[in-house]
Amino acid sequence: MPGKNLSRDEAQQRASILAVDGYQVRLDVTSAPDRAAGTFRSTTTVTFRCSQPGADTFLDLLAPAVRSVTLNGRALDPATAYDGARVHVDGLAAENVLTVEADCAYSRTGEGLHRFVDPVDGETYLYTHYEPADARRVFANFEQPDLKAPFTFTVTAPAAWDVWSNAPHENVDAEGDARTWEFAPTKPISTYLTAVVAGPYHVARDHYRRELADGTALEIPLSAMCRKSLAPHFDADEILGVTKLGLDFFHEQFDYPYPFGKYDQAFVPEYNIGAMENPGCVTFREEFVFRSKVTDAAYEGRANVILHEMAHMWFGDLVTMRWWDDLWLKESFADFMGSYGLIGARTRYSSAWVTFANQRKAWAYRQDQFPTTHPITADIRDLEDAKLNFDGITYAKGASVLKQLVAYVGSEAFFEGARRYFKRHAFGNTELGDLLEVLEETSGRDLRTWAAAWLQTSGVNALTPQVTTDAEGRITELAVLQDGDVLRPHRIAVGLYDRDADGVLVRTGRIELDVAGARTVVAEAVGLPRPALVLLNDDDLTYCKIRFDEESLATLRTGLGDISSELARALAWSAVWNLTRDGLMPARDYVALVLRFAGQEGNIGVLQSLHAQAKTAVDLYADPAWRGEGGRLLADGALRELREAVPGSDHQLAWARFLAQTAGGAEHLGLVRGLLSGSARIDGLEVDQELRWSLWLALAASGQAADEELAAELEADNTASGKHHYTQCLAARPTAEAKAAAWSAVIDSDELPSALVEANTAGFSIPAQRDLTALYAAPYFKLLERVWAERTIEISMRIVGGFFPIAQTDEQTLAEADAWLAGHPEAAPALRRLVLERRDDLARALRAQACDRA
């Protein structure tokens, strides 16, 4: 496969003849503070064996220039050996030493070695991010997960900097204005897991100690770091406290000592994802350093990510999938363990499974209903496929299925299987069969049938209760109907809910059973009084969409907020949202539920989800003729709840942000401006910097923020975050000039970092401004292939997704998307997948509008 891609077949062929003994990588980044310097020196020496002497192979490398290539002492001509993506070598010996010296490029897209200059103090920061295949932007290597090897890094950097990598440093030599950091060899790891972080970071240090069963002690140095200008906001004690709880928990569960020596956690700027599990040197997006007040849901989310990445030290780093087909072997487990660990590690976040049911599974349900959905064990043909496979199926659906598996085999059998898996495959690579083997051993169950149904098929089932009663109101039959292309076995609980003396909906009965086939009778329900609400999948044991019989749905319309159980209430909210997305409940009915009951919702994470979903319901799923009224209702509701919320509470802050998102009328915008100027006040509401930007965005989108006002706010908050908000505000202004400028900034130049690409597309694509952006639909479809060919895949994905004309929600735009797909059958499969998914979102919106109109 030509170019920057790498196919599975090529990777398998290369792995069949090569075994890598080790890498020595030397990087010189002393040029980094010079903004005019675009490259750094990279020298790789890789020692490897070849089972077919005389064969040829290639290393992966994306670099502006290659200075020299030397194989077993023989110099190769870089002009012929290097084609821009691969270093080709031939005449291999049984044992080989290959050295490649190159000039590699500093990145502004978060791929490879990213360079960031802090606008606050002018300091320069570096960090790497590679998954799935960007280590080749920093050093030459065999870029595939199953060619593991030890890595020894040596990094020369400015003398005032510190440097971190996967292993501890063994020596630091100073010479002039530079220091050279020599790191110990790593354990055998995959290329995408290597890491370098360098710069004048602020660092907090701690230590973890654990007595092991053999009488020895495990000592793990801990650190957490961020940019110096963020240090006043860095709650390192909280971060390191969660870290130590997690290390205790995972050692208890996995019975395999943490294998990577130290545990550094770097919070870095302009990061493209949430975090990355580089062993010994985990990287996180610095938005997890909260510079203004956030709700407790944000702290829970950060703690979840900390535990998610820690779980990867075992699931993914110690034992790694052979190829990206089995990406789920690490991501599904880590996603599950993030929530499981919040409870098991005894953190203060006791509602982790509520968050999982309401938020993570919503992502999975959406992804699983695209025409591009795939089994959890996916068919990944190449690296572009792999990049797109970091999705709701691999993470959230996989985690949901694992949650069901734990219920199916029992938690002790599950974790004993994990222990055997780590010990049996430590520092190796695995496939699905390796996991099933150990779980069958520990559970005594045949899991091949289970795997075939759950891991090797796609799509989500819908479960619906069917209730018949006699004249006295007692159940004569309760059946569970299963719908879907593939009917799967489900272990579920059926919750029966009635009102108590205080009018609260409480569970009066629970029946746990296996559901199989199209119709399953719940025999234990016969003779019971008909409850007000039948809630399938109570306790959220399986992965499915749940529906309601008419009487239960009527109960929810009048009393959803009265459900006493936080988890049951979250499941009900999730279910009515799925009904709305599926065009089975009018969008205005969903909005009415939110307006009636969201003020009663105690779980702040659920409340914030309701806000986002209600806004989507109005913007995309409501009849266009009702959008204006729907938007006013949301803004009125936000204002009412803001004024009634407990002063200083998380709920007050959430409602203030929602008001900023929905404000459109004079009363709402007048309050927004008053809060900014200080002429208006809500008792207990602190209008800090992040909230200020939310309020300015509301004014900018309404055409009521002058250029000089936005510039003054940026001057007061001249930070990376401030620049991001400012850029979004400029793009959000309701003028043709603002839209043209945002479009041009992204399309006509490749100078913007990914964070500012995202800011421009977000401001450009405000749904209420669809009349202004309509004229960009045709140019959008014309430029797709050029963008895909010329930009990195990370930037391309942001452009393709961010500029798709979803807000148009009309048949003409749908026809344009269909015409592009029909006319470009040979376009890159990953590009076609992105367009097809956005096209499906658009078609879903049109179906939902038809339901709302009717």
H-assigned helices in 411-479: 411-425, 432-443, 448-454
Alpha-carbon span 357 to 304, nearest angstrom: 14
Q: Is the backbone peptide bond immediately before 132 cis, with ω within 30 degrees of 0?
A: yes
Active-site residue (options: 123, 131, 277, 309): 309
Label residue 30 left, alpha or beta by phi (over 0 means left) and psi (-120 to 50 means alpha).
alpha
Find tokens 């619906």 and name the residue.
464
Alpha-carbon span 51 to 94, nearest angstrom: 6
List Cα–Cα distances, 211 to 248, 314, 447, 717, in angstroms.
Answer: 11, 19, 36, 47
CB half-sphere exposure, 597, CA atoms < 13 A: 24
Residue 556 and residue 490 in contact, taking contact as beta carbons nearer than 8 Å:
no
Please tell me what DSSP assigns to residue 189: B
Alpha-carbon span 713 to 619, nearest angstrom: 28
Residue 85 and residue 62 in contact, taking contact as beta carbons nearer than 8 Å:
yes
Helix axes 587-597, 550-559, angle to 10 degrees: 50
Q: Which two tokens stand for residue 628?
A: 């204006």
Alpha-carbon span 418 to 407, nearest angstrom: 15
Residue 267 and residue 225 in contact, taking contact as beta carbons nearer than 8 Å:
yes
The DSSP line for 792-852 is -HHHHHHHHHHHS-GGG-SHHHHHHHHHHHHH-TTS-HHHHHHHHHHHHHHHHHHHHHHHH
List phi, psi (to 5°) of 255. Answer: 50, 40
Nearest to 140 by CA among 53, 82, 77: 82
Alpha-carbon span 690 to 677, nearest angstrom: 15
- Residue 453 neighbours by CB distance under 10 Å: 16
Q: Is 816 a catalytic residue?
A: no
Q: List all residues 6 or more positions away from 287 whose beta carbon is below 8 Å from its beta carbon.
A: 721
Q: Which two tokens stand for residue 442?
A: 């520990």
- Give the 3-state DSSP-derived string for 334-394, with helices as H, strands as E and coil as C: HHHHHHHHHHHCCCCCCCHHHHHHHHHHHHHHHHHCCCCCCCCCCCCCEHHHHHHCCCCHH
Which amino acid, 210?
R
Alpha-carbon span 349 to 343, nearest angstrom: 7
Nearest to 543 by CA among 485, 490, 465, 487: 490
The residues assigned a catalytic role are: 309
